[in-house]
Amino acid sequence: MEARDAWKVRWETSTLPMAKTFMEVACRKKSLVCLAADKYTMNEMFDLLNSVGSSIAALKTHVDLISDWNQDEWIRFCMLAQEMDLLIFEDRKFADIGKISRKQMGGIYNIKEWSDLVTAHLISGPDVVDGLQAAWSDASREGGVLLLAQMSSRGNLLTPDYTSTVVEAGRAHPGVFGFIGNGSNANSVRELRTMVGDGKMIWTPGVNIATGDGEMGQRYGDPYEAVMAGSDCIIVGSGIHGAENPAEAAAAYAEISWKALLER
């Protein structure tokens, strides 16, 4: 199916090339799933990617979780993700001033060289987005920022006022790919979609077929409902990598999310 037909208004309204790329990948894979690859060794990362790569559209990393991280293997890992037609998303949650965020995209992990997407809090002001975009320019690459407008964890301090301020600032910014919404609550996602309009992505963590409370304050909502409420990508970690059969679980999340998009 053509991305234009599957995504309708989102395709028509999105102006960022990276958003169009994601929508096309999602159509090729028939999946709106971003795997949260929260593993702790390079071998586990490779194993997980090899087993679920065909059912996901993006790969979310926490590069600093990996105990035996090294540059050579990481580059090989990112090349494998590219061969599997995936966007690479480092969930770094940048929050410093613009010039430091720019430099934090370098350093030992050199995130600017391999990430297509990163997360940022807007708590320090709008220059964090410019800093991150400057870093991708330094690497002669393009990328997109997902701003944390909501979070899935209980007791978080992202109040409705804060959310609307983030959305107002991010909506107009060409460096902003979209927003992170609280996938554990369909009403929150719906409210966020109303604020955001159709022009930017909403990606949602806090999604699991088994809804309810997770570990250490995490909360989970239903994947189908999240997409119907306006999420463009469900971010799933333990629902996939913690399942008895991760490949089967990933395929199930893919099917649910793709069906929901077509119904939406």
Note the residues at the interface with ligand 5BU (CB under 6 A). 36, 38, 62, 91, 119, 148, 151-153, 180, 205-206, 214, 218, 235-239
Q: Which is nearer to ligand 5BU, 27 or 53 (CB)?
A: 53
Bridge-based pairing state of the strands 212-213 and 219-220: antiparallel
The nearest distance, CB 171 to ligand 5BU, in angstroms, is 18
The nearest distance, CB 40 to ligand 5BU, in angstroms, is 12
Q: Give catalytic status of residue 103 as yes or no.
A: no
CA 75 to chain centre: 20
Closest chain position to ligand 5BU (CB):
237
Q: Which is nearer to ligand 5BU, 39 or 112 (CB)?
A: 39
Q: Which is nearer to ligand 5BU, 175 or 237 (CB)?
A: 237
The nearest distance, CB 140 to ligand 5BU, in angstroms, is 28
| Among 20, 93, 103, 259, the one annotated catalytic | 93
Q: Which is nearer to ligand 5BU, 175 or 206 (CB)?
A: 206
Three-state secondary-structure class, residue 34:
strand
Helical spans, DSSP H, in the chain? 3-7, 9-13, 17-29, 42-52, 71-83, 98-104, 127-138, 160-171, 186-196, 223-228, 238-241, 246-263
CA pair distance 108, 203, nearest whole angstrom: 28
**Residues 217 and 241 sit within 8 Å (Cβ to Cβ):** no
Give me the residue label for tokens 């909501």.
150
The nearest distance, CB 138 to ligand 5BU, in angstroms, is 25
CA pair distance 51, 245, nearest whole angstrom: 9
Active-site residue list: 93
